[in-house]
Amino acid sequence: MAATSVCAAGLSSSFHGSWGASFANGGEEYRMLARSVPNVRVAKPIRMQPMMGNINEGKGIFAPVVVLTRNIIGKKRFNQLRGKAIALHSQVITEFCKSIGADAKQRQGLIRLAKKNGERLGFLA
């Protein structure tokens, strides 16, 4: 076992092998080792694109009607119509919550529940 001590010049060791000098000075062993290692390039990792679609795309009892309507009237007009329907439904939920005295947290929970039900039924296909 090699003994190690600390002196004024830094860390010193009782091991005095030749491998350190040959690698540090670019000796033959270093050149042979450098030649034996293949030149490997590491590619940048591929990042998946975030999915913005509905996980229930094409599922649900109303999905075929929704897809057919979107294909007939066009995607832009369909999204405008869908946005108006969602806003109207949120207003109905808000008015219902006001009439029964539900707070904002309960109202938000009902809106989230409506969205989940819409996904399951296929309205958001």
- Reported pTM: 0.51
Measured CA to CA, the distance from residue 95 to residue 111 in angstroms comes to 12
Tokens of residue 21, six digits: 């000098």
**What pLDDT does 39 receive?**
72
**What pLDDT does 20 receive?**
55
Instruction: Residue 60: name the closest of 118, 16, 1, 2 by CA.
Output: 118
**What pLDDT does 79 receive?**
93
Across the 125 residues of the chain, what is the mean pLDDT of every consecutive 10-residue run? 51 56 62 72 71 64 91 94 92 92 91 90 85
The three-class DSSP label of residue 11 is strand
**What pLDDT does 19 receive?**
55
Measured CA to CA, the distance from residue 11 to residue 4 in angstroms comes to 7
Measured CA to CA, the distance from residue 73 to residue 77 in angstroms comes to 6
**What pLDDT does 92 receive?**
92
The three-class DSSP label of residue 112 is helix
Residue written as token pair 């002196």: 7
**What pLDDT does 25 receive?**
57
